[in-house]
Amino acid sequence: MSYVDEVLERVIAKNPAEPEFHQAVKEVLNSLRPVIEANEEVYRKEALLERLTEPDRQFKFRVPWVDDKGQVQVNTGYRVQFNNSIGPYKGGLRLHPSVNLGIIKFLGFEQIFKNSLTGLPIGGGKGGSDFDPKGKSDREIMAFCQSFMTELCKYIGADTDVPAGDIGTGAREIGYMFGQFKRIRGTYEGVLTGKGLTYGGSLARTEATGYGLLYFTEEMLKSNGSDIKGKTVCVSGSGNVAIYATEKAQQLGAKVVTVSDSTGWVYDPEGIDVALLKEVKEVKRARLTEYAAARPSAQYHEGRGVWTIKCDIALPCATQNELLLEDAKALVANGCMAVAEGANMPTTLEATEYLQQNKVLFAPGKAANAGGVATSALEMSQNSERLSWTFEEVDSKLKNIMVNIFHNLDDAAKRYGKEGDYVAGANIAGFEKVANAMMAQGVC
Ligand code: NDP
C-alpha cells in the first residue's frame, strides 16, 4: 500500500466520526501524491504525514454563562493547535451550533497550508464553540465571550497562538474576548486579530477576505486570457466574506446578482445593492427578506438555489459543503467559467472534480480566501511595531500577497505536470514549505 493510502487509513481509524476532517485530509494528501511519491522513503522514515495529520495539541472545555432570564447555559469550547513549524498558531474562532471537534480539526488542518501559502510566518490552528450567537442580546454575547476567554486565555498569546474571527465571530465578539484576555492576563498584546481600529486593529482587515478573493480571481482570469470586467457573478452567503467579495467584484466592473443566508437567497438581476446589504446584515443583523422588501428589483426565495442562476463566475462564501455535485452540473450547464472559494471547503469533492473535468477554473479556499489570514498577520506585524499602516498600504500589500499566491500555486502545479489544477498547486506549494521546516526542526 502506498504511504499516502496508509496514512489515510490511519487518520480515518484514529479519528472516527469526523467526516469533515477525513474529507480535508483526503483532498490534501491525494493531491500531494506526486510530491510524496518522489520523496516516499524519507517522508516515511520521518513519519512526516503522520505528524502532519496529528494536531500538536487540542483543547476542549466547558463554557458556562448566564442568559438574560438568569438561566445558566453550558456550551463546549475548542482550540486545536495544529502545526507551528513556520510560526505561531493562527486561525479563527467559529461560533455556530454545528461546531464539533471534527469541524475544528478540518479547519485547523486546512489552515496550515493556507497560512503557508501567504508567505508569512504563521502556523495553523482553529477554534470555536457550539454557541449560537443568533437571537442573543449583547449582554448574553458578552457573557459567553468572557467565559470562553476565561479558559482560552491559558493557551494563547501573541507569540504562541493568535485567534481571529470566523463564522459568528465578528468585531463585537473579538472586542469582548480581547477585554477579558487583558483583564485576566494583565498584558496588552496582539493576542487576537480582527480587533477594532481604536485598540490595535488593522485597516482593511474587515474587507480583506472578500477583497483578497477578488484579487486572486482577477489574477487567475488574467492568466487564463480573460477579465473580470462585465462578468456576471453569483455569490452565496451574506456575511463578512460575501459582503466584501460583492463590493470588490462590483468595483472591478462585474455584476453580482445573488447572495444568500442560512434560510434563503436573493436574486437581484440589477446587481446587489451593497450599501443596503450592509445595512441589513451588519447594522440590523436581519434576514435577507428585509433586503428584498427594500429593493424592488430583488426576488427572495426560501431554501437554497443560488447556483441555479446563470453566471460566469461563482463565489461560494457561506460555509463548508454548500456547493454540491448537482450545483456544479447546473453551473457548467449555464456556462460558468470560474469558481473561487471564499468560504472554507464550500465545494464537495465530487463537485470539485466535476468542475475541473469540465474545464471550469477552480480556485480552492485555502488559496483564494487566504487574504483574511494574511491581513491578520499584517495586523500582528503592526501590533509588534506598535504602528498602524494606512488602508492603502494594507490593501496594496494584500493585493501583492494574493497575486503571489496565485503564481506560486500555478508554478507548483506546472512543476508536477498538473497545469491548471489549482487544488494540487495550492496543496503542493503550501506543503513544501511546512515539510521543509518540519524536517529541519527534527523529530517534534
Ligand atoms: P459570517 O458569519 O459573517 O457569515 C456566514 C454567512 O454564511 C452568513 O450569511 C450565514 O447565514 C451563512 N451560513 C452560515 N452557515 C450556513 C449554513 N450551514 N448554511 C447556509 N448558510 C450558512 O462568516 P464569514 O463570512 O466570516 O465566513 C464565511 C466562510 O468564509 C466560512 O467558511 C469561513 O470559515 C470562511 N472564511 C472567513 C474568513 C474571514 O476573514 N471572515 C477568512 C477565511 C475564510 P446566516 O446569517 O443565516 O447564518
Q: What is the CATH number of the domain that holds 148?
A: 3.40.50.10860
Ligand 1 near 369 CB (within 6 A): yes
Verify that 36 and 135 share a domain, yes or no. yes
Which residue's CA is the nearest one to ligand 1's atom 19? 262
Q: Tell me if 150 is assigned to some domain.
A: yes
Short-list 301, 342, 338, CA closest to 322:
342
Catalytic residue chosen out of the listed positions 126, 136, 281, 399 = 126
Q: Tell me if 130 is assigned to some domain.
A: yes
- pTM exceeds 0.85: yes
Which domain CATH number covers 343?
3.40.50.720
264 Cα–ligand 1 center, Å: 14
Last residue of a domain, one of 306, 335, 368: 368
Which cell goes with 23? 474529507
Q: Tell me if 284 is assigned to some domain.
A: yes
Q: What pLDDT score was predicted for residue 273?
A: 98
pLDDT values of the chain reduced to their tens digit, one per residue, 444 residues: 999 999 999 999 999 999 999 999 999 999 999 999 999 999 999 999 999 999 999 999 999 999 999 999 999 999 999 999 999 999 999 999 999 999 999 999 999 999 999 999 999 999 999 999 999 999 999 999 999 999 999 999 999 999 999 999 999 999 999 999 999 999 999 999 999 999 999 999 999 999 999 999 999 999 999 999 999 999 999 999 999 999 999 999 999 999 999 999 999 999 999 999 999 999 999 999 999 999 999 999 999 999 999 999 999 999 999 999 999 999 999 999 999 999 999 999 999 999 999 999 999 999 999 999 999 999 999 999 999 999 999 999 999 999 999 999 999 999 999 999 999 999 999 999 999 999 999 999
The CA dihedral of 200, 120, 390, 284, to the nearest 10 degrees, is -60
169 Cα–ligand 1 center, Å: 10
37 Cα–ligand 1 center, Å: 36
Ligand 1 near 140 CB (within 6 A): no
Q: Helical H runs in 279-390?
A: 288-294, 325-333, 349-357, 365-368, 371-385
239 Cα–ligand 1 center, Å: 6
Ligand 1 near 147 CB (within 6 A): no
Contact between 224 and 263 (Cβ < 8 Å): no
Side by side, the strands of the sheet bearing 338-340 are: 299-302, 264-267, 255-260, 232-236, 313-316, 338-340, 361-363
Last residue of a domain, one of 325, 348, 368: 368
Ligand 1 near 168 CB (within 6 A): yes
3-state DSSP call for residue 366?
helix
Verify that 128 and 219 share a domain, yes or no. no
Our count of domains for the chain comes to 2
Which cell goes with 98? 454545528
Which cell goes with 365? 479556499
Q: Which residues span the domain enclosing 96?
A: 3-187
Q: What pLDDT score was predicted for residue 157?
A: 98
Verify that 136 and 249 share a domain, yes or no. no
Ligand 1 atom nearest to 345, measured from its CA: 32
Short-list 177, 237, 245, CA closest to 211:
245
64 Cα–ligand 1 center, Å: 25
Verify that 235 and 360 share a domain, yes or no. yes
Ligand 1 near 372 CB (within 6 A): yes
Ligand 1 near 133 CB (within 6 A): no
Q: Which of 98, 114, 211, 319 to mutate to test the pocket of ligand 1 (most atoms within 8 A of CB)?
A: 319
Which residue's CA is the nearest one to ligand 1's atom 16? 262
Which residue's CA is the nearest one to ligand 1's atom 31? 343
Q: Tell me if 202 is assigned to some domain.
A: no
Residues contacting residue 195 through CB under 8 Å, at least 6 positions apart = 171, 174, 175, 178, 201, 379
Last residue of a domain, one of 368, 403, 431: 368
- At 327, which amino acid appears? D
419 Cα–ligand 1 center, Å: 31
Q: Tell me if 431 is assigned to some domain.
A: no
Ligand 1 atom nearest to 164, measured from its CA: 40
Q: What pLDDT score was predicted for residue 150?
A: 98
Q: What pLDDT score was predicted for residue 282?
A: 94
Which cell goes with 321? 459543503
- Around 79, how many Cα atoms within 13 Å sit in the side-chain half-sphere? 22
Q: What pLDDT score was predicted for residue 118?
A: 96
C-alpha span between 239 and 437 (Å, rounded): 35
Ligand 1 near 239 CB (within 6 A): yes
- Active-site residue 418, yes or no? no
Verify that 159 and 214 share a domain, yes or no. no
46 Cα–ligand 1 center, Å: 37
Ligand 1 near 165 CB (within 6 A): yes
Ligand 1 atom nearest to 304, measured from its CA: 20
Verify that 154 and 213 share a domain, yes or no. no
